[in-house]
Structure 1
Amino acid sequence: MVSDTDLFKDIRPYRDDEVAGAIQRLIRDDEFIGAIAKYRFSTLSGIGGSFIKALIRLYLSWRWRKLDSIRQIQLEVASYMEKMIARTTSEVSYSGLEQLNPDEGYLFISNHRDIALDPAFVNWGLHTNGLDTVRIAIGDNLLRKPCAAELMKLNKSFIVKRSAKGPREMMKAFSELSAYLRHSLDDNHSIWIAQKEGRAKDGNDKTDPAILKMFYMEGKRQKIPFGDYIKSLNLVPVSISYEYDPGDLAKARELYAKATHGAYEKGEFEDVQSIVQGIIGQKGRVHVSFGQPVRGDFENADQLAAAIDQQIHANYHLFPSNLLAAGQRVEGDASEALAFEQHMARIPAELKELVLSMYARPVLNKGQ
């Protein structure tokens, strides 16, 4: 049997024997060290830049000296995650975890609000409940910097080749991806993938049938009927809801630019800035709901997408911010309404309706 090292080397995450080399490359990467210096020591990095960078390299060499497996990397990530949760959330809760079997691999397909945090909060729930973490689908548009690729592949991320051009190249890339998903699930490794390419900037969570057709490419190659193959994937819809989206203002600006100018020109490293904003921004409460494995008899991707959407919408946890944005009253504590008013007061006037619509949309979807 050919190992996944040979079959999927250009898209798969790193394995244990590749961890030490990746860590050394990160520590030697000037851009990576410079980014840490700028983020953690912004007032000092310009004065004693080279000295600060040398100290960071020494610290990371010491901190990461014993990391030689993906499991240890995951525990290191968990320690950072714990600190981020303490600093930027008031509560993180979960539902549906009890129905997951630790001995099975699942294909988690979730709504997409934040580039890094969506899979991170899924992983946190799995990790704190004794389940293995997921392999994360990530677009190659986020890997323009070598250090970003190193970090993502160390954190169990595999690459979706969105930059593939032309029908033949795209078909090859998606066939490889479909086969990798099948391979991972057969080895009881769970997968996280977003329900569509890009975040739902308007708050409307909709599954792209093209993603589901990609799932099926390996089944089609094996001449397995669509419905039968989908049942074998252990497909579980996941709803992630943030009381306050740290990226709501940036998303509204993009939507406003498209509405008023017909287009929006994304900055070269805007995705990285979005990741940082998501991590450091205040989120209030966060809830992650794991749905039921999809078991229906589906004839095509459109039917399957509708079933996934139904679960994601029904299981979406509505916070007072959602209800207030939709014009509904929130019973009880008046501080909820005050907090939402204060949040909206920071939004420029021309963007208020877009942000309100963003928070209100899950309420409308749930009611349909």
Structure 2
Amino acid sequence: MVSDTDLFKDIRPYRDDEVAGAIQRLIRDDEFIGAIAKYRFSTLSGIGGSFVKALIRLYLGWRWRKLDSVRQIQMEVAGYMEKMIARTTSGISYSGLEQLKPGVGYLFISNHRDIALDPAFVNWGLHCHGLDTVRIAIGDNLLRKPCAAELMKLNKSFIVKRSAKGPREMMKAFSELSAYLRHSLDDGHSIWIAQKEGRAKDGNDKTDPAILKMFYMEGKRQKIPFGDYINSLNLVPVSISYEYDPGDLAKARELHAKATHGAYEKSEFEDVQSIVQGIVGQKGRVHVSFGQPVFGDFENADQLATAIDRQIHANYHLFPSNLLAAGQTAQVDPSAAEVFERHIAQIPAELRELVLSMYARPVLNKGQ
């Protein structure tokens, strides 16, 4: 039998026997070491750059010397997650975890607000609940740097080839992806994937039926009816809500540029900057809600998208920031209102309505 190493080698995450090699490549990567030097030792990296980088290489070589499995990598990540949660959130809560069963592969389809933290917070909940972490779908647009690809694939990320051009190439890429999802689920590995390409910058969480059609490509190849195949995927909608979105200002700037100039041009490594901002920025409280597995007599992707959206909107946890932005002030504590007002006051005047709208949208969706 052909292993997934051969079938899905160009998109799958690293396996245990590939961990040590990937770590050595990271330690030798000048750009990766330089980024750490700039972020952690910005005052020293200019005057003693080569010395600082040499020390970082020595430290990482010592720190990571015994890491030789994906699980060990994830336990290392868990330590950083714990510190990040303590420093940048007012606490994280979960609902729906109790209905998930150990050893079962779930296809978690999630709303998407933060590039790295959405799946990270899903993983943290699963980890703390004694369940296995997910394999994470990530667009190849985020892997332009070799070190980024190494880091993502070490952390159970698999590649979605968004850069595929032309109908034939795209069909091949999505067929491979659909088969990989099926293969992972059959082996008991859960998957995290966003409900659409890119984050919901306007706060409006809507599932793209094209994603669901991709899910079905493997079922179609096997000549299984749409509804039957979807019901076999253990598809669970996930709602992630942030009291304060560290990227709200950047998202508003992009929306404003599109509204006023008709287009927005991303800088070369803007996605990486967004990842860093999401990690270090203050988020207030965070809630992750796992919905009920989606089952039904679905005839097409549009019907399925409606069912997923219904759960994501209903399970979205509304914070005071959402209620205040939507004008529902009666049930909000005055101290929370004051914090929100200070936050909005820091937003440039021309962008405030966009930011308010992005916080208000989940309230409107929940009420529909």
TM-score, length of structure 1 as denominator length: 1.00
The 3 A distance-change label for structure 1 pair 67 and 356 is same
The separation in 2 between residues aligned to 1:293 and 1:2, in whole angstroms, is 31
* Alpha carbons 2:107, 2:233 under 8 Å: kept: yes
Per-residue displacement from partner, 1:296-322 (whole Å, max 9, x unpaired)? 110000000000000000000000000
Contact 2:27 2:57 (8 Å CA) reproduced: yes
Tell me the residue number matched to 1:357: 357
Whole-angstrom CA distance in 1 between matches of 2:351 and 2:175:
41
Answer yes or no: is the 8 Å Cα contact 1:140–1:159 preserved in 2. Answer: yes
How far, CA to CA, are the matches of 1:279 and 1:161 in structure 2? 25
* Runs of 4+ that moved beyond 2 A: 330-333
Counterpart residue number, 2:133: 133
Q: 1:43 Cα deviation (Å)?
A: 1.3
Is this contact kept in 1: 2:323–2:332, CA < 8 A? no
Instruction: Out of 178-187 and 332-341, give the one that drifted further.
Output: 332-341
Q: Is the 8 A contact 1:135 1:192 kept in 2?
A: yes
Taking the aligned partners of 1:358 and 1:232, their CA distance within structure 2 comes to 34
String of CA shifts for 1:304-341, please: whole Å, max 9, x gaps: 00000000000000000000000111436311000000
Distance (whole Å) between structure 2 residues aligned to residue 349 and residue 89 of structure 1: 26
* Residues 34-90 of structure 1, C-alpha deviations (whole Å, 9 max, x = no match): 000001111111111011101111110111010000000010010000000000000
Structure 1 residues 226 and 339, CA gap change in structure 2 (3 angstroms): same
- Cα distance in structure 2, aligned partners of 1:204 and 1:153: 30
Counterpart residue number, 1:156: 156
Q: Is the 8 A contact 1:106 1:189 kept in 2?
A: yes
5 Å-filtered alignment, 1:1-368, equals 1-331=1-331, 333-368=333-368
The CA deviation string for residues 209-236 of structure 1, in whole angstroms up to 9 with x for no partner, is: 0000000000000000000000000000
Could you tell me whether the CA contact under 8 Å between 2:324 and 2:332 is conserved in 1? Answer: no
The 8 Å contact of residues 11 and 160 in structure 1, kept in 2 or not, is answered as yes
C-alpha root-mean-square deviation of aligned residues, in Å?
0.5
- Pairs aligned (count): 368
Specify the SS of the correspondent of 2:90: strand
Secondary structure class of the residue paired with 2:42: coil
- What are the ranges of 5 or more consecutive residues in structure 2 without an aligned counterpart? none
Q: Secondary structure at the match of 2:44?
A: coil
Structure 1 counterpart SS, 2:177: helix
CA distance in 1 between counterparts of 2:330 and 2:361 reads 17
Secondary structure of 1:284's aligned partner: coil
Q: TM-score, normalised by structure 2?
A: 1.00
Write the distance in 2 (CA, Å) between the matches of 1:267 and 1:103: 42
Q: Which runs of 5+ in 1 are unaligned?
A: none
CA distance in 2, matches of 1:296, 1:252: 37
- 8 A Cα contact 1:323 1:330, kept in partner: no
Asked if structure 2 preserves the Cα contact closer than 8 Å seen for 1:330 and 1:337, the reply is no
8 Å contact from structure 1 (residues 108, 192) kept in 2: yes
Counterpart contact for 2:320–2:332, Cα < 8 Å: no
